[in-house]
Structure 1
Amino acid sequence: MADTPTYDEPANMAASYAYVYRNDYRLYPDNPPLVKILAGLSLLPIAGKMNFPSQLPIYNDPTQFDLYKFGTEFLYRSGNPTREIIFLSRLPNIIITVLLGLSLYLIATKLYGPKAGLLALFLFSFDPNIRGHDHILAFDIPLAFLSLLAFYLIYQFIKLPEKRGLFGLLLAFAFAAGYLTKFTFIFVALILIVYALWSVIKLDNNKIKNSFFLLIVTCLMPFFLLWFFAISTNYHKITLDYDKLPIIASANKLYKNNSTWNLISKL
């Protein structure tokens, strides 16, 4: 936790504050807002004594907008308690890391026994990727936690038909949280859904109909939850045209003839 913030953490920290206390979602739209909202909520003990330098042109002037420079101004040059902001905004990810390790141990123990649980926890604890991301404001650890949770829930959804409704509901919330954490969660969801469909097809004919119905509802419900979140938080309202920002316009001009860039931009 004493590490110097990574290059994008100040911008994420400024965005976290703006999301929760200013209802302003313009900063750092590259990833969905859930992790930044949690980080913003963790700033509650010091929110009253924080200054948000909204008067700066790099924040309020679209022609000069620069979220990285603004993050630096917010964290270091606005009279804010830098150390407290760094610690508190990182705290949710630290807690999620602990939950991830505990969940990994419990799931591995339940599926394969205590030795497997300890081995999984050992490998988790010394994995360089985990050690590098477990104490910073980033999106990878929450993504890993929700991916593991979704896997376990879909496993239970298939294994326990008498509780399929309950696990389907929990899975829908896990999917919604995953979509709100990182855009790439969609690939995790697709893999799990294909796995679930394949497993359902192997069921007896009299069980397939109900299982398919529950699976379809489970797949559709997260999008209703996302819609509800967007409407209730005004997250769906775009207040900046990012294509016209200098850094984006420059990148678009540089890569406009690049077929890979064009494909990614369309996605």
Structure 2
Amino acid sequence: MGVQGNGPEAGVSGFSERGAGIRAHSNHGNATESFAHDSNASALLAINDSKAPVPEGSLGGNGVFGVTDVPGGTGVWGACNAPSGRGVFGTGPEVGVAAFTEGGVGVQAHSNHGDAVQAFAHDSARNGLLGHNSATAAAPANGAPAGNGVFGFTEVPNGSGVVGSVSATNRDGAGVCGIGPVAGRFIGDAVVTKNLFVQNVNILQRLIELEQKITAASQVQQQISQLTGKLNTLQDQVNTAVSNLTNRISAVEFQVAGLQTTAHTHSG
């Protein structure tokens, strides 16, 4: 070691009015290593106690600032090797943890056996998760869905891209709510396992009622068809009876005419 110190408050202390209080370099090792052996302390504590606001465009004002030029490296890396804990934790009056990238992913999360991202809100005037796309240009017409506030996708055979749910006791909430000139759009089949209401009308119940009316109308139509058949049969019977009666009348008229002719002959 170049320098080793030991003291009741600090082993080594450095101060500078304008420069770095302590500076370390290493060509092939860690520039700085710090170890703590107390669960109530931190291996590295960095405090910026300035009360002045951060100058516009400046990257200063941080408790810890990390930069790397290594391709694939990480500016600040946190890990927890204990059975429970967090790799990185942030807290702040506006944002606990913030991320930005010009052309990449702002925040990326992976988990092999847990939820990749969990978000919890504890205020009824706020949201558990807010997704906002502030671009005003139209989304590309072809390709993957884009321009969305939230996009969900899954490759699990019986999973869903996006699922919304409310507690069983929440009678006024909705699992999924859409707001807009077109509140909902489905590209593919839609499966509804319970009632479907449109403007407070139970569409399923109305369909059942219409089916019942159609069934009743079909039964009436069948009865009309049966009556029409009976009427046709009766008409045929009447026509036959009239024809037979007409023939009999004609026969009687012929006999009467014959009798009249005979009577006239005898009288002459």
TM-score normalized by the length of structure 1: 0.20
Larger radius of gyration: 2
Where relative contact order (Cα < 8 A, 6+ residues apart) is larger, the structure is: 1
Question: TM-score if structure 2 supplies the norm length?
Answer: 0.20
Structure with greater helix share of residues: 1
